[in-house]
Structure 1
Amino acid sequence: MSIQKTVFGTIDGQLVEAFEIEAGAVRATIITYAAAVSRLFVPDGDGQAADIVLGYDDPVSYVQNRGSAGAVCGRYANRIADARFTLDGETYSLSANEPPNHIHGGFRGFSKRIWAGEPDTANNTVRLTLHSPDGDEGYPGAVTTTVTYRLTDDPVLEIVMEATTDRPTVVNLAYHGYWNLAGHDSGHIRDQTLLIDADRYTPVGPGKIPTGELAPVAGTAFDFRSSRPIGAMIDDTAQLPEAGYDHNFCLNANGEPLRRAARAVDPVSRRGLEIWTNQPGVQFYTANHFGKAPAFGKGRAVYEKHAGFALETQNFPNAPNISHFPSAVLRPGETYRHVMRIPFFIAEA
């Protein structure tokens, strides 16, 4: 197997590289801006490949368009209330880039930076590295982060996110890819089916900050314990004021190192995927922001509301401020390790 390296473009004079990896009939392109997956070609039930991730043709479009398409978000993905947290008795103030709260690591979070990329042909992987200094966006500790993408013949996309620190800090990395299993340019995803292995979710208050409750999904628009179309209840504005999802689900434990987070299928192309992870939660987001600001994606495809769906495995939002949520603290000598395993399959007709 060979890994093709090309120039994707530049941002403010800095080079953005692209790495193409393939295994069997699956082919992915990873760019060094945001450590993002910019293309992912997967065959359908008739063997026809389509690019099933939303993205853009040039670095400037990634910078200009909202939504962190395909990116790795950090140092803390998702939201931290009032842009502050207390650790070991000291309170740290973060950048309030979604006032009054902090989201996805701040104004220059990890999804807005150019990483250093290195191919590993022997293992069919691309490894990206980013150094975040002490005080970056308000966070304590100098942190070194690596993201490793690997394609296997199964076919499976493996994503491993790791981080170390020289001072106690908080870390929550998330892969923020948008899926459209019919193809990135095929329109909305409302008819694609989804299962989420979660009996509970974290309801939110103002600013989409979790209330601290772990609420049952039973009898609500958040009940994806059995597979159903994403759009089945998406217009229930009493439960979903934005007519879309942007919520964290508390994944069920299975006693194994990895738990299944979700299973999604496009009934027409029959493309399907599962997401397995070692994280406690998954943020399900239906790209609602495109409703206010549609974007031109790859090949000038128009991305409008519900053009894709994200399944961001993660720790819970605002966990540094809610004691009964899983701890997000990382200390010197420890390694944060976040695993995603994404097998692709063809669903039965």
Structure 2
Amino acid sequence: MKKTIETWGEVDGKRADLITLTNSNGMTIRVTNYGCIVTSIEVPDRHGATADMVLGYGSLERYLGGHPFFGAVAGRFANRIRDGRFCINGQSYQLETNEAPTGQHLHGGTRGFDKYVWGYDLEESKDAILIHFHRVSPDGESGYPGSLQVSHTIGLSEDGAVCYDFTASCDQPTIVNLVNHSYYNLAGHDSGSVADHELTLHADFYTPVSDNMIPTGEILSVEGCGLDFRTPTRIGANMEKIRDGGIDNNFILNCKETDGAYRRAAELYEPTSGRYMTVLTTQPAIQFYNAFKLSNKEWIGRNGYKYEAFGGLCLETQGYPDAPNQPHFPSAVLGPDQLYHHRTLHRFGTR
């Protein structure tokens, strides 16, 4: 295992670093402490040729100019909250409604966790290097109650796994839902549509949404619709069953497939390169987004490549969207006597 650290720039008077981790099998990840953004994941294909698996930029300045959460941490509450409103113990809170097309609160607001420089420490062993990011989100930040102490670990192991661990505690009741928001394309970030990727989701049910992208409260079977990925399925084949081909849905993970403490959440395979990615998590759900909205704005990524709709996909392990307003969903409330702790593992390889 090897590491390098370089100064990448400055935000609000704080130094932003770019940390590069490399294992002996030729896999490299790059992460910045600005927004805990994973800027790059390079993985060899079945012939040993390396390509970058995630959409993103090559400089801090480009991230500061705006992006659709490329590789970033999303929080204090990832995904959407209806009308930006929620209630805890009879106390109502109003957050900003920062997603203009829907009028909902999204990913913590216009300055969520992705817009801050985090402190960090490194933990090294012969088998892995872990980056432990940390910050305190003060009471009232972005409208959320309570002073929240957050730790987010991102690491690379010798056996080709990238970990995303989250821990948080708060001095008063609040809501928490933290995810990594990387966009993956296993053929390479500059290779076009992910329609030919094969996806498996270990989910029998999903939570449908209304036109404003908020869950209706129903829990429906994936059977018979374009959201059935229970067996390896070419993504484009299911996109053809959906109006405009757009997928941005929360899938409820079952417990039929486990790996130690983890639920098996997803397997993604790209047949041309032979690369695969297996997603394991302790979270109850996964949001699959096929980036159908990327063409709504112009996003010019690394090496001048223009990212278009369906040019990547997100597999965000999470709690349920709008959980604070859906009493039958798993609770997103974190009390002062509780610890929020969730782990996700992405294993990369070829076949």
* Fold match (TM-score > 0.5): yes
TM range (shorter): over 0.9
Asked if the contact 1:11–1:59 (Cα under 8 Å) also holds between the matched residues in 2, the reply is no
- The question of 1:243 aligning with 2:245 is answered yes
Question: What residue number does 1:300 align with?
Answer: 304
Letter in 1 for 2:290: T
CA distance in 2, matches of 1:112, 1:101: 19
CA distance in 2, matches of 1:320, 1:12: 32
Q: Helix, strand or coil: the match of 1:111?
A: helix
Letter in 1 for 2:245: A
Q: Once superposed, what is the RMSD of the aligned Cα atoms?
A: 1.5
- The question of 1:113 aligning with 2:104 is answered no
TM-score by length of 2: 0.94
Letter in 1 for 2:80: R
- The question of 1:134 aligning with 2:136 is answered no
1:291-345 deviation digits (Å, cap 9, x = unpaired) = 2113111111111111100000000100011011011111113211111111112
Shift of 1:121: 2.7
Asked if the contact 1:18–1:30 (Cα under 8 Å) also holds between the matched residues in 2, the reply is yes
**1:19-30 paired onto structure 2 within 5 Å:** 19-24=19-24, 25-30=26-31
Shift of 1:155: 1.4
Question: What residue number does 2:97 align with?
Answer: 96
Q: Helix, strand or coil: the match of 1:8?
A: strand
Question: What residue number does 2:230 align with?
Answer: 225
Asked if the contact 2:20–2:30 (Cα under 8 Å) also holds between the matched residues in 1, the reply is yes
Asked if the contact 1:129–1:147 (Cα under 8 Å) also holds between the matched residues in 2, the reply is yes
Shift of 1:286: 1.2
Unaligned runs of 5+ in 2: none
**1:1-349 paired onto structure 2 within 5 Å:** 1-11=1-11, 14-24=14-24, 25-98=26-99, 100-122=103-125, 124-236=129-241, 239-240=242-243, 242-254=244-256, 257-347=261-351
Letter in 1 for 2:107: H
CA distance in 2, matches of 1:26, 1:75: 30
Unaligned runs of 5+ in 1: none
Letter in 1 for 2:219: L
Letter in 1 for 2:250: N
Asked if the contact 1:82–1:101 (Cα under 8 Å) also holds between the matched residues in 2, the reply is yes
Asked if the contact 1:3–1:119 (Cα under 8 Å) also holds between the matched residues in 2, the reply is no
Q: Helix, strand or coil: the match of 1:231?
A: helix
Q: Helix, strand or coil: the match of 1:233?
A: helix
Letter in 1 for 2:108: G
Q: Specify whether residues 47 and 4 from structure 1 end up closer, same or farther in structure 2 by C-alpha distance, changes over 3 A only.
A: same
Q: Among all aligned residue pairs of Structure 1 and Structure 2, give the percentage whose two residues are the same amino acid.
A: 39
Shift of 1:170: 0.6
Letter in 2 for 1:180: N
CA distance in 1, matches of 2:75, 2:332: 12
Shift of 1:13: 5.0
Letter in 2 for 1:33: Y
Letter in 2 for 1:346: T
1:17-39 deviation digits (Å, cap 9, x = unpaired) = 11111222211111011101101
Shift of 1:137: 1.1
Between the two proteins, the alignment pairs up a number of residues equal to 344
Q: Which moved more, 1:194-203 or 1:93-102?
A: 93-102
Asked if the contact 2:2–2:23 (Cα under 8 Å) also holds between the matched residues in 1, the reply is no
